[in-house]
Amino acid sequence: MNSLFIAASLIEPAVGLIFWTTITFILLLVILGKFAWKPILTAIKTREKSIETALKSAESALNDMRELRANNEKIMAEARNERDILIKEARETKDAIINEAKSKAQKDADRILASAREQIINEKNAAVTELKNQVATLSIEIAEKILRSELSSDEKQKALVNNLMKDVNLN
């Protein structure tokens, strides 16, 4: 029984122990309340405020980033539009230059062709004139040779003059 009593006394606290434990606990609560709770609560409130400020800053940064992204997309769209306009103007300029070059080349070709035709006509006329002159010269030479052979005697000359006179009188 003795051992049972010792075991029971260990399980049941004594009144003095309960009293001193309670006083120590209350004293600990008072000391903690006076010196520790206020700094702990202040630190917690400060921490809450810093977390809240950080969340607001993060949200603000997120909104700023969204605005920047929207502005970037707007700027990119404007840049694409300007690029398209520049490409269109470049194509139009290229087409205008090509058309102008074609037109100038066509005019030059027409001018060269007209000049060549005129030169051909002039050379043809010159050749025809030269040919007429040569034919006339040859005709005169042939007529001269024929006349010399026909009019080699005096009788032939008198007969020719008489025939010419008759033709003149008839007309």
Give the tens place of pLDDT for each residue, 130-170.
Answer: 988 888 888 888 777 777 766 667 777 777 778 777 777 65
Domain count, the chain: 1
Quote the radius of gyration of the chain (alpha carbons, Å): 67
Whether pLDDT at 71 is above 90: yes
Query: Above 60 in pLDDT, residue 126?
Result: yes
Q: Are 159 and 153 within 8 A, CB to CB? A: no
Q: Supply 75's token pair.
A: 């700027």
Between 94 and 161, whose confidence is greater?
94
Question: Does residue 14 sit in helix, strand or coil?
Answer: coil
User: Whole-model pTM?
Assistant: 0.41
Helix (H) or strand (E) holding 23: helix 15-31
Higher-pLDDT residue of 27, 145: 27
What amino acid occupies position 23?
Answer: I
Cα–Cα distance, 107 to 100 (Å, whole number): 10
Domain that holds residue 18: 2-170
Cβ atoms of 150 and 156 within 8 Å: the answer is: yes
Q: Are 148 and 158 in contact (CB under 8 A)?
A: no
